[in-house]
Amino acid sequence: MRRRLVIVSLVALVLVLDQWSKAWVRAHLDVPRQWFGGLVSFFVTENSGAFLSLGANLPPTARTILFGVFVGLTLAFAAYALVTGRVRASEAYAVSLVVGGGIGNLIDRIARGGRVTDFIYMEAGPLHTGVFNIADVAITGGVLWLFLSSLTARPRTQDHPAAPPS
């Protein structure tokens, strides 16, 4: 029961931080701002694609199906798996980050005509990111966590003994 409460709280925290930050930058960020000598910049942009604008050039109907319907169904399945305990404990927090961030971006797509508000950009010399948001950070962090977890996961034990050699 305690784990479910933490999982739901993590999803809610990511969702609230994401939606609050997007609303704040849309309302208050009228000109780009830079910090740390230009390492971090904030400016508002709308992204009709996914990560790094992938899929932004797809026809609107294809984007709606892919980023709305398919993502919505995937998030619903992941949320169901989380609350019913079908996700291993070691991966539940990672999936919670993905679900919280995914719901945040899905809310944007529904409310903003298929577009997501992005506003964070980082640049250090020749290295730079695309423009992203808090939901993207949560999704990326969750996916990386799941990837690293898969590299260190122990194989599951079988419920039945191996057949004797012939």
Domain ranges for the chain = 2-150
Q: What's the rounded mean pLDDT across residues 32-56? A: 86
Dihedral sign from CA coordinates of 65, 94, 122, 28: positive
Catalytic positions, written as ranges? 118, 136
> What is d(CA 150, CA 144) in angstroms, rounded to the nearest whole number?
10
What angle is formed at CA 150 by the lines to CA 160 and CA 96, rounded to 5 degrees? 105
Q: What is the pLDDT of residues 89-146, one digit of tens each?
A: 889 999 999 999 999 999 999 999 889 999 999 999 899 998 999 999 999 999 999 9
> What is d(CA 138, CA 149) in angstroms, rounded to the nearest whole number?
16
> Please, which pLDDT band fits residue 155 given cuts at 50, 70 and 90?
low
Give which of 100, 96, 84 is closest to 133, Cα–Cα: 100
Q: Are 68 and 106 in contact (CB under 8 A)?
A: yes
* pTM, to two decimals: 0.85
